[in-house]
Chain A
Amino acid sequence: MLRYAFSRLLALSVSLCVASVIIFAAIEIVPGDPAAYMLGLNAAPDTVAALRAELGLDQGAVARYFTWVTGVLQGDFGTSYTYRTPVGEMIGERLWISLPLAMFALTLSTAIAVPVGLWAAATRGRAPDLGSMGATQLGVAVPNFWFAMILVTIFAIHLRWFSAGGFPGWDGGLLPGLKALTLPAIALALPQASILARVMRSALIDTLGEGYIRTARAKGLTRGQVLWRHAFRNALIPVLTILGLQFSFLLAGGIIIENVFFLPGLGRLIFQAIAQRDLIVVESVVMLLVFSVILVTFLVDIAYAAVDPRLRRS
């Protein structure tokens, strides 16, 4: 198990190095000089040159790559071109919204999907299965911003249970913060839960056709016991894969939801940074997202091995 974890960890570091090079190269290719952009159309060439020198843009690409990477490793993401504040601080602030939102949405989606998937698989072909799978079809098809607008209309405008947007910060306590994130989390979670429930159901149905399920029934286990003790854990691998992918998506993919609910999250930060050619912010946020994807993949790999003993030896 330890060796497996170590080999996954090695793979993780290699992926990170490769990703950092690709991100840096991609940003290099993007047209538009941040210094010229910041100073406007009428700036004198020597002013632009001076700003370029100040931002370190006059150095060679390789030198700038290493400055950036060593900085990131030490927690120094550089200074934003437009806001002149440390990028690390900007990301930190936003992360305190995006990360809880992603976790909240993921928890909700799992809490909805697992029971629905189990129920649908247990009643395969009958009314509960057909009904819940019809509902998930709708959940997959309808875009999440539309859900968001429906939720706002019902719960914020008519019922006035939640505010329609904005974020009070965590200073006022956990509850107001969570309350502000509830509607966005539901809007994010519903499509994800629909996908996850369908995956859960089909994985369970595959598993229920296996020989060891028949063995378990012949042992004297009831249908419910078989589903829970022998099918559920065995069906988890595809579910874990989807969960890992969903987390990465939820962390950054909430741009539209963040806009609908006026949340100052990572998605909006990167959106603004791209518009303003604040390349160092773009670079850093993308690197952070890549890091989170790779980290989650690593955790999913470890979870695979925890679930399936056959993977522990490779």
Chain B
Amino acid sequence: MLAVRDLSVSLAGRPVLTGIDFTIAPGEILGLIGESGSGKSMTALALLRLLPEGFAQTGRVTLQNQALHAQSERAMCRVRGNRVGMIFQEPMTALNPLQSIGRQVAETLRLHRGQTTRAARAEAAAVLARVGLPAGDFPLTLYPHQLSGGQRQRVGIAIAIACRPDLLIADEPTTALDVSTEAEILDLIRRLVAEDGLSVLFITHDLAVTSTMADRVAVMQAGRIVETGPVSRVLRAPQHSYTQALLDAARPGAAMKAAPTGDALIAVERLRRTYPGRRRHLFDRPPPLVAVDGVSFTLGKGERLGLVGASGSGKSTLTRALLGLEPRQGGTLCIDGTPVPASGAMPRALRAKIQVVFQDPSGSFNPRHKVARLIAEPFHLHPAPPKGPARARAVATALEAVGLRAGDADRYIHEFSGGQRQRIARARALILRPAALLLDEAVSALDVSVRGHILGLIDALAREHGLALLFISHALHVVRSVTSRVMVMSAGRIVEEGPTAEVLTRPQHAYTRALLAAAPRFEGP
């Protein structure tokens, strides 16, 4: 169906992709795996000749005997969306917010089939029903902001398959979704592939997803394909060292043993956070929206606790409340035995005890400041912050502790890769020598091998400094290997709590079971 020969892409003379070769047979799913920055998405865009300006591409791309590399731009427009459909990673931004979903799906049909508005809308309704959005519940007039992430991704899929293409390119289609939604979307793609006999280029960094979706895999590293083969062979007996490294990093570690814990560092009693409801008219008194509903737990000194739940379960609100960034509408919070007021600023001495690392480290750095200033930022919480050479020494020590060089202090944040930024975020969190570190989805966005390094780093730092860790994540396998105790959160409440090994192997609550069942499993060879 698709044959790619010696595809190379360069930006201003610097190679980005080098000699990419692969084929996809009719009805076959080829998994393209590799870390972010390895060139997976670039490959997908190059197939459709949609690379951003400034990129130059060479090589041959043949779709069913049609040489795409030799087509005019006008002819390519007839291929895109018609013979090749593409699904993107971010369902939140991949749809036009100002156009109804019906119009966006119908646009593809009108463009390639020359259908009238009325006929295209009727067919769009049928396509949306195929992807699980029947017009009865999801009228064509809905706008993207009225849909959830999973529903938006279904609309994205509807746009891609509306013209019954021969080839579907799915670029990390489930990375931005939580586990249960991810499973539904993967099922949908599988069903469509079976029904339409589609060929699929399935791009992902998640080996577990690859193992359940693909027939064959191609492994990418630094702009080259290093290994290709049937999924069972490559994941069981990898021949390239890089594939082996990816596999090692993805294998679930043994669950941690329950460790005895010291005194309570964070003690939370019936914590409640509500938001004012939406007023329907001027004098309305709407019931409040409850984000965190009577949560109680303790985090002991040096303990490693996991907090797991689907997105929207209240994890992040709870995290913010623990940091004193959200007022509480009920319950108590004690840090190291000192009660924290329900609203207003948290005392600095307490704030210095708990530091946080967020999911997207690049968003939490001011791009105009050098790393030295970024890392030294928490010093304003210090009663007597070090100055001059002492400050520089503290920054250097913090950088070296997370595996970077002292000289990196003079660079700007855009000069670092995603994994290095995670390290800098940790250096910043640790410079005050806090007693606890909250990690809010801090490794979810990372590729497997980087994630392995970062988890190892956290482990070493926690041992060295006697840190308590609170891992907040929707990914169960991350929590499994690094925490001794886990709490499961759903709809603002803690529904289950216990030693990690026990909760993950013998879940009691229905929600935990659903969460476990939905997660794609990669058991390795």
Contacts and interface: CB of A to CB of B under 8 A. Distances in A.
Contact of B77 (A220, A308, A310): A220
A220 B145 contact: no
A234 interface: yes
A172 B82 CA distance: 61
A31 interface: no
Contacts of B81: 218-221
Nearest to A314: B278
A230 interface: yes
Given A211-B88, A215-B88, A220 B79 contact: yes
A234 B108 contact: no
B12 interface: no
A206 to B, nearest CB: 13
A207 to B, nearest CB: 10
A222 B50 contact: no
Interface in A210-232: 210-212, 214-222, 229-230
Interface residues of A, number: 20
Instruction: Give chain B's interface residue range (CB within 8 Å of chain A).
Output: 20 to 34
Interface string B135-161: 000000001010000000000100110
Interface string A226-268: 0001100110000000000000000000000000000000000
Interface stretch (B89-97, B268-276, B406-414, B492-500): B89-97
B90 A310 contact: no
Contacts of A307: 98
A217 B80 contact: yes
Contact of A218 (B50, B99, B145): B50
26 contacts: A211-B93, A215-B96, A215-B156, A215-B159, A216-B96, A217-B50, A217-B80, A218-B48, A218-B50, A218-B80, A218-B81, A218-B88, A218-B160, A219-B80, A219-B107, A219-B111, A219-B159, A220-B82, A220-B108, A220-B112, A221-B81, A222-B74, A229-B107, A230-B99, A309-B100, A310-B97
Nearest to A210: B93
Contact of A220 (B90, B97, B111, B143): B111
Describe A's contact surface by its main secondary structure: helix
Contacts of A212: 93-97
Interface in B15-73: 48, 50, 73
A210 B88 CA distance: 12
A219 B98 contact: no
A312 B94 CA distance: 21
B86 interface: yes
Contacts of B97: 212, 234, 308-310
Nearest to A309: B143
B94 A221 contact: no
Contacts of A219: 80-81, 107-108, 111, 159
B465 interface: no
B191 interface: no
A275 B142 CA distance: 58
